[in-house]
Amino acid sequence: MHSVSVNGASIPALGFGTFRMPGADVLRMVPYALNLGFRHIDTAQIYGNEAEVGEGLASSGVARGDVFLTTKVWVDHYRRDAFAASVNESLKKLKTDYVDLLLLHWPNDAVPLAEQIGALNEVKADGKARHIGVSNFNTALMAEAMALSDAPLVTNQVEYHPYLDQKPVVDAARKAGLSVTGYYAMADGAVFADSVLKDIAARNGKTVAQIVLRWMVQQNGVIALSKTVSEARAAENFAIFDFALSDADMAAMHGLARTDGRIVSPGGLAPVWDKSA
């Protein structure tokens, strides 16, 4: 496992995600993932499983200080007073007095961004979040958020997989000293049927899931989230640090990007996405 160092944060480059993971599976998989060696767990208020993540952390036997824990504030809680109360509730569920990273989950123009960023900074100043960032922001919103924030932002968590060219966001984040955390790495399962990816996986003696995750973490400043309810798949996903993809393989995977590659773009939440060059 390697880590991405950015603005004072050391973020394990491979995280275990819990999006759409029922509570019973979280209780089973979080301790399992931690005992495999995962040290980065990602959840969110809207996932409805923070309590199970907290229970899984507590029962894992892994020290809290050894785990990088991320959660996200939902858009309904962006007003200053509601924001702090929601974070307190998250911490109670997570059975901890701080998270390592707290993110704004989606843009919400019903609340001034200055108010959102101000609330994020207050939570950090109170010691309830070691680091702060954003999620699903385009480059313009990312720049605005950074300008408004007293504390440095450390990541923008966005959809990222071989079919979606995120070069504008990745380049802007690198230039500004931020990381990019990618979710939906398997493109809702589309990668598993891809002949290009199957060929690259076969030549490297790895699975398609492993080369996709490796493609992500091999990019400078990019963190990958993996999610599974299978113990065997979790072990497979974790075994990506004993090989490297060639420049040709990396380029071939970048070449799979297409203009209609985006999967996650909910109405009323999604910003105007950046166009690729």
- Residue 2 known to bind ligand: no
**72 membership: H or E segment, kind and range:** strand 68-73
Cβ atoms < 10 Å from Cβ of 147? 10
Both structure tokens of 76: 């309904």
CA distance 34 to 238: 11
**41 membership: H or E segment, kind and range:** strand 40-42
Distance spanning both ends of the chain, measured CA to CA: 32
**160 catalytic residue (yes or no):** no
Helix then strand then coil, % of the chain, to nearest 5: 45, 20, 35
Say if CB 154 and CB 101 are below 8 A apart: yes
Among 32, 47, 98, 163, the active-site one is 47
Exposed/middle/buried for residue 36 (C-beta within 10 Å: 0-12, 13-18, 19+): middle
CA distance 42 to 122: 22
Q: 179 forms bridges with which residues in the sheet?
A: 155
CA distance 61 to 138: 38
Both structure tokens of 135: 């999620």
How far lies 5's CA from each of 86, 178, 249, in Å?
28, 9, 25
Q: Could you list the active site residues?
A: 47
Binding residues for substrate: 105
